[in-house]
Structure 1
Amino acid sequence: MTRQQQGYLYLTLAMTTVGSTVIASKLIAAGLPPFTATALRFAAALPFFLILMRITGARFPRLPRHDWGILAIQAGAGSVGYTTLLISGLSITSAANAGVIIGTLPVVSAAISILLLGERPDRFLLLAIGLAAAGVLSIVFAPGAGHGSLIGDVMIAGAVLCEGLFILLNKRLATAIPPLAQSSLMAAIGLVAAAIPALFESHAMSAASGTALLSVLYYALVPTVAGFMLWYAGAERVSGSEASLFTAVAPVSAVIFAFVLLGEPVSLNQVVGIGAVLAAVAGLALAGRRRGAA
């Protein structure tokens, strides 16, 4: 197996774990309140990140006050906001719907850059944004599609927006932070931020199910820690435009997992939606290649 093929395998596995977070969040939503689950996720993941830092010799850089402020906002949006909205939304909508909506993340991030950073879009990027929007609308406004909920779908879209803001804010950091160190910081700050509101949910812990707790542990160790390692191992073996294409694996795997593991029906609207989202990711990759060529 060549180095490039290894990269493809690692990226596929990484995005498959991202798709599985939808299923884990669905199971968590049935047995734990969102902030408690989020705090437990980071509490479980943080020690492993710190161990990996020790093994690899990674260090925390000295950061100015400006960067600490951005990291705090990033953790609030991308770590706590994303996870709590995802879990809350999945308590009332289908995992298949959520999988399709989450697949729009790369396009949403690009759209945020256009709106807030003033980046000039080319026609491929505009096409990608249009296709992603069409894919989401095909499931959000389809009556009874996949037994979803409009409010739940809006919460999932809010989670994607939070993650998009996380990506955007990363460009505002004045200091380059190694990925492993930044993941450790996000887990630590996210733990503190989620633990405070989780105190008001403590009454629900007595009713926590074993399935929900195991799902939190899975979310912490597999998609959060192992997914991080797989993604960066794959990304260093392929080009950026190639890596971006593999984000399309996440919504596909989420819908397949929803059908196989949860027994959710997959409607025609969801098939059309996921097709539009995949086409959007391809359009985004074309836009990236054109910018690289320019």
Structure 2
Amino acid sequence: MPAISTTTSSDATRGLLLGLAGVAMFALSLPMTRLAGGSVDAPQLAPAFVAFGRAVVAGVLSLLYLAVTGARWPRGGEWRLLALTAGGVVFGWPLLSGLAVRQVDAVHAAVISGVLPLATAVIAALSLRQRPSAAFWACALAGLALVVGFAAWRGAGGLELADGLLLGAVVCASAGYVSGARLTVGAAAPGVAASGGARGGAGLSAEQVICWVLVISLPATLPLAIATRPVAPVAASAWLGFAYVSLFSMWIGFFAWYRGLALGGTLRVSQVQVLQPFLSMLLAVPLLGERLDAMTLVFAAAVLAVVWVGKRQPVDVRRSA
């Protein structure tokens, strides 16, 4: 049985501020990933190196963190959930989104990825066999229709490979959030109730989850990063983007986000994530010199509205037959 909430007004405020800090860090991920990888016309670091190299940097830091804090080793079914989480947030999202933003600008990617909170709720409902309301499913379908319509409009009437990559990245990230949340105690991912993924004692803290996910990925990410390392000089700005996604997108951002959820309450703090696509678009303009037109803002506002409404729809936590 979940513990009775003892959240104070001070904790709620701190949690909201930390949640906003986490969202702001994540909002820079797409622009910084494009800065690191460049475009098709002016490539910089290979998308595979950006994806795997950032996981290596964050994985080494995680190894130090786990050692210093004396974190316990995962056990039993926790290993399986850690592996599933790694597949989504260490391999799937970084690689697919990195490949996508070489072909489309960060503003475009921000609108498509705006359905991430709603996609997380959908995957949570399916994997936990919950029964969302009809209004919830209507919002989910509306969100998908909006991002597909936006992609078709930007693609002059057709979808591009990058749009498929971005939708795949959203699915990977959502699945990773859900499996990771099942390992945590009191700090579930947005739209996901922690459900004790492993037997035998308390689960891992949210900080420990992301650190163990990165550490167990090192045997794969390290050789892949070495194999895809740059052999020709790249711009200093590309290394700046790489440093950002390694330290903040892959590591520090998760600490702020999950701590904010724990202090301020998941339902309250997770609502600020709907601001992420707007922040991504606004930051992409000065960082990358991208153009933000009125129709893109209209689509982004519509996606935000659908996500906001969808996240507020009731979900029957009783599992369906």
For normalisation by structure 1, the TM-score amounts to: 0.86
Equivalent of 1:48, from 32, 40, 61? 61
Secondary structure class of the residue paired with 2:214: helix
Equivalent of 1:194, from 193, 198, 221? 221
In 2, Cα distance between equivalents of 1:207 and 1:191 = 25
User: 1:24: which partner in 2?
Assistant: 32
Equivalent of 2:207, from 175, 180, 187? 180
Percent identical residues: 23
In 2, Cα distance between equivalents of 1:229 and 1:198 = 24
In 2, Cα distance between equivalents of 1:200 and 1:117 = 38
Q: Deviations over 1:133-191 (max 9, x none)?
A: 1331232110457xx97211221111111111212333383252222221111112333
Q: Deviations over 1:86-138 (max 9, x none)?
A: 11000001101111122211111222234444321113422331332133123
In structure 2, what residue type is equivalent to 1:179? A
What number of residue pairs does the alignment pair up?
286
Secondary structure class of the residue paired with 1:9: helix
In structure 2, what residue type is equivalent to 1:41? R
1:286 aligns with 2:298: no
In 1, Cα distance between equivalents of 2:303 and 2:131 = 22
Secondary structure class of the residue paired with 1:103: helix
Within 5 A, what are the aligned runs for 1:153-232?
153-170=163-180, 171=182, 173-175=197-199, 176-202=203-229, 204-232=230-258
| Range with bigger deviation, 247-256 or 42-51 | 42-51
Unaligned runs of 5+ in 1: none
User: 1:134: which partner in 2?
Assistant: 145
On the 8 A contact 2:56/2:225 being kept in 1, the answer is: no
On the 8 A contact 1:128/1:283 being kept in 2, the answer is: yes
In 2, Cα distance between equivalents of 1:247 and 1:35 = 27
In 2, Cα distance between equivalents of 1:197 and 1:233 = 31
Change (3 A) 1:81 1:182: same
Q: Deviations over 1:209-244 (max 9, x none)?
A: 322222111112123332122213321232221122
User: 1:10: which partner in 2?
Assistant: 18
On the 8 A contact 2:207/2:258 being kept in 1, the answer is: no
User: 1:264: which partner in 2?
Assistant: 290
Change (3 A) 1:43 1:196: closer
Q: Where in structure 1 do 4 or more consecutive aligned residues deviate above 6 Å?
A: none
Shift of 1:199: 4.7
In 2, Cα distance between equivalents of 1:16 and 1:107 = 19
In 1, Cα distance between equivalents of 2:168 and 2:10 = 39
Shift of 1:260: 2.5
CA RMSD of aligned residues (A): 2.6
Shift of 1:59: 0.9
Q: Deviations over 1:190-215 (max 9, x none)?
A: 3332334445434x433443222221
Unaligned runs of 5+ in 2: 1-8, 39-43, 183-195
For normalisation by structure 2, the TM-score amounts to: 0.79
